[in-house]
Chain A
Amino acid sequence: MASPQKTGTEVPGGSADVGFPPFKTETFASQLLWLAIFFGLLYWLVSKVFAPRLTDVIEGRASRIARDLDDAAAAKAKAEEAGLAYEKSLADAKAKAQGIAQAKRDEVNAAVEARRKALEGDLAAKLAAAEAQIGTTKSKAMANVEGIAAEAAAAIVQRLGGAAPSKGDLDAALKAALKA
């Protein structure tokens, strides 16, 4: 490019105002020069400053959102894990509590059973003793009954017949009567 020289004395733009302005080829060089300068400047600004800045912002935001979503998913998984662990420990505790309760119940049942058996044995012994006593008393009484019956029968026979029956007859009659 030729070095532009200032010619301060000349008044520029003598050839203006005739013809179709966009087709005036004498303006082309100047327009191209300034377009190259300013569009070049714009391209430099966009490629070195604006586009990288905007790319940073937009991609930074996208990656930040993606990271936050990942964090949220991880936190959710962790919370679910904690929930499962809690439920498991709850179930364990329940099972343990049930075990303890069952053991206690069995223990108490056994104790009750033992006591009941002891009591029953005791009662059975007492019952047997009482039955035995009743039996002896009864047989004793029955023995007495025989004597009384003999006396009563002798007295009745004496009163009716006038004579006391013989001891042998009385015994035989009594035995027959008691057997009947």
Chain B
Amino acid sequence: MASPLDQFQIKPIVSLGKIGNSEIAFTNSSLFMMLVVLAIGVFFMMATAQRSLVPGRLQSFAEMLYEFVANTLKSAAGKEGMQFFPLVFSLFLFVLTANFMGMIPGSFTVTSHIIVTFALAMVVFLTVIAVGFAKHGTHFLGLFVPGGAPALLVPFLVVIEVISFLSRPISLGMRLFANMLAGHIALKVFAGFVVSLGALGIGGILGATLPLGMIVALTALEFLVAFLQAYVFTILTCVYLNDALHPGH
């Protein structure tokens, strides 16, 4: 029987060559990244084709997504935050679609690889740093100095603030990666129980209904997690971008 980790295996489809010992290839992961972008692209192309005053179903849904992310961004980073809307919207759509696409049996979950989630988190992190310094210059460093703290404590607080700032991309990427990975592993493990118990004869088949019920419940939970993690990723992105715009503590 396949190991629960098999679903995360990256398999090259078309190899393009090697750099050092890293293979550059169009893999199943690349295929699903492409499908994610393709799905988003096709959906929004169709949804925004009419641009009608009274929206149809597709357009309504697209507007709903737009307003959802726009409101999240505005409430976290204010009106100026809307300049980052394309980035935040892209991140939300990419993570959400990748998470949901991973729920299709037999598919590959792009966001279950830490390098992908970490790279997305780094995009946010680097954007915050670049925009923070571009907008506020060295004032951006005020982010690390809590206002109203006793002078004696300031050095320690600065160290803590710097560490917490630097750990942001790690926690942001790790959270999404771990959630997706753990959920999919749990589903596979319970599915494995069903198969092994089922092989034990009639008693085993009866016993296997228990993990089967578990799978049903977990699948529902995983759909929730798929949305929730995309939302959490988005809202944290908005909160971090707010620091770039308003670094004052």
Contacts and interface: CB of A to CB of B under 8 A. Distances in A.
A33 interface: yes
Contact of A6 (B11, B16, B63): B16
A24 to B, nearest CB: 7
B5 A21 contact: yes
Contacts, number: 154
A35 B113 CA distance: 11
Interface in B182-206: none
B10 interface: yes
B24 A29 contact: yes
Interface string A17-54: 10011111111111111111011011101110111011
Label chain B's interface by main secondary structure: helix
B36 A27 contact: no
Contact of B25 (A12, A36, A42, A61): A12
Contact of A7 (B9, B17, B66, B181): B17
Interface stretch (B48-56, B129-137, B231-239): B48-56
B27 A30 contact: yes
Nearest to B40: A42
A12 B5 contact: no
Interface in B9-26: 9-12, 15-17, 19, 21-26
B62 interface: yes
Given A45-B41, A56-B51, A28 B67 contact: no
9 contacts: A4-B24, A6-B17, A7-B15, A10-B15, A25-B22, A34-B29, A35-B116, A43-B87, A54-B63
Among all A-B residue pairs, the 4 with the closest Cβ atoms:
A47-B86, A12-B15, A29-B22, A34-B30
Given A27-B29, A38-B36, 7 more contacts: A28-B22, A38-B30, A45-B44, A49-B48, A50-B44, A60-B53, A64-B53
